[in-house]
Amino acid sequence: MKIVVAIDSFKGCLTSKEANQAAAEGIRSNCPNTEVLQVPVSDGGEGFLEAYHAAIGGALIELTVRDPLMRPVSAQYLLHDKLAVIEIAQASGLTLLSREERNPIVATSYGTGQLVADAVRKGAEHIIVGLGGSATSDAGIGMLRALIDIFAKHGEWDDIEELKHVRFTIASDVKNPLCGENGAAYVFAPQKGASPEMVLQLDDRARKFADVSAKHFGYDRSEEEGAGAAGGLGYAFLQYMHADCKPGIELLLGTIKFHEIVNGADLVVTGEGSADRQTLMGKLPIGILKQSAGVPVCLLAGRISDKQELLNAGFAHVECITPEGITLEEAMRKEVAIQNIIDTVKKFCEKVPVRDDRDKTVEYIRSTSYHVEHPEGHSHCIHQEQRQTQRDSR
């Protein structure tokens, strides 16, 4: 039997890798002869950098940038040949601030601009930017200011030459525009500490910035899908860098050739912290479901609403990992969440028919490491080159 495990991070609790490892342990405990393939995943938010590093390799570049309050913070991005991958949460993330420090009126995306500039200086010609988990709602003004400071000191945006031959792709499942009731401020700023009065101020600031930018360039991308992502950082990339916008999970799954990974699988296990009808609006689990080529997909989550809608969408099983009666604070503890995943998967595996594959060897060869547990108990890594071999002992 072959099971592919590709679970999103549980925000503020578990990384994708940790969640995958817990599920794999639960599978192994009940189905010891099962081949388990763990795939770190992200839709552009937390864990995006780790998932891409696992997928393509490359060097993690570390540097000191400015956090949302302009304090020094260490951040990383990925550089692989001429490709750079940036997770904006590394420099401009909500997790960098305490709850008391959250204030999107003053929070800036300046540090993200520093990451972009460093990648360009190191030769990146294509930059993929994961937009998720931001603390900011500055429409990318801070990022643009950093790029001007670095590439056109005492000058203007139009004086920057270094970005003209760099291609940008923003990875986000957010379809919101920059402004209005469905825009960045109204929908996302309250999660970042904004009061109702702040929301109005932020939306007005973003609208004025978009108006000025549209007059300057002669076009306006503030209404496009993704413009409202990451507090309007999506807009800045679209308007000023001519970025393409793509769902983060589609970008990642295409890169790792997920359709090949699930070939011959009996089950795919995916999940996220909270699953409901919004999961069906382009979030990671629905992306996994769409690219699983008909293989049954089990969805795990710490909290589940709208279960029947999730089942109707095509998930074969929808399982809540959190026992009844447990508090949210307790459920969010890392060791508790790990054990809950293990226990849930153990019980789930009792329902799954197991095929004995001890006489079957499956070898995947790719360019970087996803961990595979083999039926015989040993393990190896699959790598992202272009070949796959299968041998059946007969």
Map 260-278 to HEC letters. HHCCCCCEEEEEEEEECHH
Tell me the C-alpha distance between 268 and 265, whole Å. Answer: 7
CA angle (132 as vertex; 130, 257 as ends), nearest 5: 45
pLDDT at 47: 87
CA angle (350 as vertex; 344, 354 as ends), nearest 5: 125
- State pTM to two decimals: 0.82
Residue 308 burial class via C-beta count within 10 angstroms: exposed 0-12, middle 13-18, buried 19 and up:
exposed
For the chain, state the CA radius of gyration: 22
Do 2-40+256-392 and 48-246 fold alike per CATH? no
pLDDT at 11: 82
The neighbouring-strand residues paired with 201 are none
Instruction: For domain 2-40+256-392, give the fold.
Output: Rossmann fold (3.40.50)
Answer yes or no: are the C-beta atoms of 279 and 310 closer than 8 Å.
yes
pLDDT at 187: 94
CA angle (169 as vertex; 122, 261 as ends), nearest 5: 100
pLDDT at 365: 22
pLDDT < 50 stretches in the chain? 354-394
Residue with tokens 């978009």: 210
Tell me the C-alpha distance between 51 and 370, whole Å. Answer: 10
CATH number attached to the domain at 48-246: 3.90.1510.10
Helix axes 110-121, 141-151, angle to 10 degrees: 40
- CA dist 310 to 266, 278, 324, Å? 20, 10, 20
pLDDT at 44: 86
Tell me the C-alpha distance between 194 and 92, whole Å. Answer: 16
Dihedral angle over CA of 67, 70, 72, 77, nearest 10: 40
Tell me the C-alpha distance between 313 and 299, whole Å. Answer: 11
Domain ranges of the chain: 2-40+256-392, 48-246
Answer yes or no: are the C-beta atoms of 341 and 300 closer than 8 Å.
yes
Tell me the C-alpha distance between 84 and 58, whole Å. Answer: 9
Tell me the C-alpha distance between 319 and 304, whole Å. Answer: 8
CA angle (178 as vertex; 96, 99 as ends), nearest 5: 25
Phi then psi for residue 77, to 5 deg, are -140, 165
Residue with tokens 């009844």: 324
Tell me the C-alpha distance between 109 and 117, whole Å. Answer: 13
End-to-end CA, the chain: 17
| DSSP per-residue string spanning 25-37 | HHHHHH-TT-EEE
Residue with tokens 């076009």: 219
User: pLDDT tens for residues 305-337?
Assistant: 999 999 999 999 999 999 999 998 999 999 999
> In the chain, how long is the greatest CA-to-CA distance?
73
pLDDT at 353: 54
